[in-house]
Every structure is written in C-alpha cells, then in structure tokens.
Amino acid sequence: MTSSFLFSTFPYVAVALLIAGTLVRYILARREPEAMTAQAGEAVAALAGGKAWCLSLLALFLLHLAGLVFPRSILSWDSSTARLYLLEGAALVAGIVALVGWAAVMWQNLRRTGRSAVTELSDTVFLALLFIGIFSGLAIAVGERWGSMWGTITLTPYVLSLFRGNPAPTFIYGLPFLVRLHVFSAFAALAILPGTRLSSVLVLGLHRGLELFGRPFAAAERMAGDWVRKNNPAGRIWPEED
C-alpha cells in the first residue's frame, strides 16, 4: 500500500465508509426509535468514559480544529514564547488525561461481554486506533516540539486540500513517521466507526436531525393535503349522481 493511496485516496474511502455505514445502520434501525435511543445510551455508558476523558478529547479536537480553521490566529498566538508554551502545555496535559481515560475505557471494554463478535472486534479496533492517535500525538509533542507551529504550516494545507477535492500529500510525505501515523489513525478510526457501538449515537443524531428538518416539509405536505381536500375540483367536474 503506497503512501499516495494512504494520504490521497484512503481519506475519501474512510469518509465514504463512515457515511455509507451510518446510513445503512439508520435504515435498519429507523422503525425502532426507542431501541435506537436505548442503544445510544448504552454506547455512551460503555465507551464515553468519565468527564475528564470526554473533556480531554473535546479539548484535543478543538485544538486541532482551531489549527485548521484559524491557522493565522494560531501562528499569531505562537509568536509569543509564553503563549506558545501555554498552548503546547495545555495540549500535552489534555493528551495525558486522554491516555489515562483511554486505559480505563479499554479495560471496561475488554471486561464487557454479551455483544456480537463483529461489534466487539469493531469496538476493540476503534479503541486501538484511538490509542495510536493519542499516543502518537503525545510522542510528537515530546519529540517533535512546537507542533502547533509546524503542524499549522504543513498539516493544515494538506487537510484543506482534501476538502477541496485536490489532495496534496506532498505536504505530509516529508514529515516524521509518527506524524504520518497520527494522521492515518484518524482516518482509519472514521472508517471503522460505523461498526462500533458508538455508531448508534451517530444514527440517533441522524434520526433526530432528519426529524427536525423534516418537520417543515411534513407540515407543508399536510397543508397541501388539506387544501386539496377542501378545493378538490373532482366533485364539480364529476358530480355524484343522486
């Protein structure tokens, strides 16, 4: 498997698997909203972990997102040594907390039984990929310091090129192995996500989103039906015989 495939084609494959898998699971579960809600609650209880784990993952996600959406602001922030230390230190602490939380969640997952073999395997693979992402991120923070600066300069253009549909993997080819592993593990986790228990959370979110956005269309359909019934010209064109 070439680097060109891993960083040019595989990201699109991963997103396609995420979307298609979620849609298939939604189609299979849409007629049982109560079961959908119950499964989502069980998944959150089993894999969400404690508040510290969730907050650390949220912090890491927001930091990565900020580098993508506000690259100039991040570089401007890092222009001050004190602010650079503060940002890098906060990311390192969040990564350590996330790693500790991952260990607790993984232990619970290995002890839990009674699920299908496919779900157990998918959960375990997903958590393993999550570990690779967290651990490689920590290793990068320690061994390849000031990632918020060079990452914004190199990784942000790469990810934006994927969004534009014109991947530019040359931005990532020259980066250390741990950085490439970090990026690949993120896309691989997205690809496996529909097979995990957490997919029920995505399915429930999709169901509620369609339900919310579908209300105006349903209301319009009811209004149109009422209007047609009240103003149906068929009775005037073909009056019923007494």
CA within 13 Å, CB half, 116: 6
Res 104: pLDDT? 86
Residue 84 has pLDDT above 60, yes or no: yes
Q: How much is the mean pLDDT over the chain?
A: 83
Amino acid at 174: G
- Give, as one character, the DSSP assignment of residue 5: I
Provide the 10 A C-beta neighbour count for residue 26.
20
Q: Please say if the pLDDT value at position 221 is more than 60.
A: no
Question: How many CB atoms lie under 10 A from the CB of residue 159?
Answer: 18
Is the pLDDT confidence value at 242 over 50?
no
pLDDT tens digit string along 105-152? 888 877 766 567 777 888 889 999 999 999 999 999 898 888 888 888
Shortest CA distance to 60 belongs to which of 135, 166, 157? 135
- Comparing 164 with 50, the larger pLDDT belongs to 164
Residue 16 CB neighbour total at 10 angstroms: 12
Residue 204 CB neighbour total at 10 angstroms: 21
- Tell me the residue length of the chain: 242
Q: Kindly tell me if the per-residue pLDDT of 234 is higher than 50.
A: no
More confident residue, 98 or 174: 98
User: 231: pLDDT confidence band, cut at 50, 70 and 90?
Assistant: low
Q: How far apart are the first and last CA of the chain?
A: 79
Q: Quote the pLDDT of residue 224.
A: 61
DSSP character string of 193-221: GGGSTTHHHHHHHHHHHHHHHHHHHHHHH
Q: Which domains does the chain have, with CATH numbers?
A: 3-204 (1.20.950.20)
CA distance 172 to 73: 22
> Which pTM does this prediction carry?
0.81
**Per-residue pLDDT, 85:** 92
* b/e 147-157 (16+ beta carbons within 10 angstroms → b): bbbebbebbbe
pLDDT score of 217: 56
Helix axes 71-78, 81-111, angle to 10 degrees: 120
CB 56 within 8 A of CB 98: yes
180 pLDDT higher than 50: yes
φ, ψ at 193 (rounded to 5°): -55, -40
Range in 27-36, 71-80, 186-195, 218-227 the model is least confident about? 218-227
- Give the model's pLDDT for residue 238: 44
Could you give the CA distance from residue 138 to residue 164 in angstroms, rounded to a whole number? 29
91 contacts 152 by C-beta, under 8 angstroms: no
State pLDDT tens for residues 26-65. Answer: 888 777 777 777 877 777 776 666 788 889 999 999 999 9
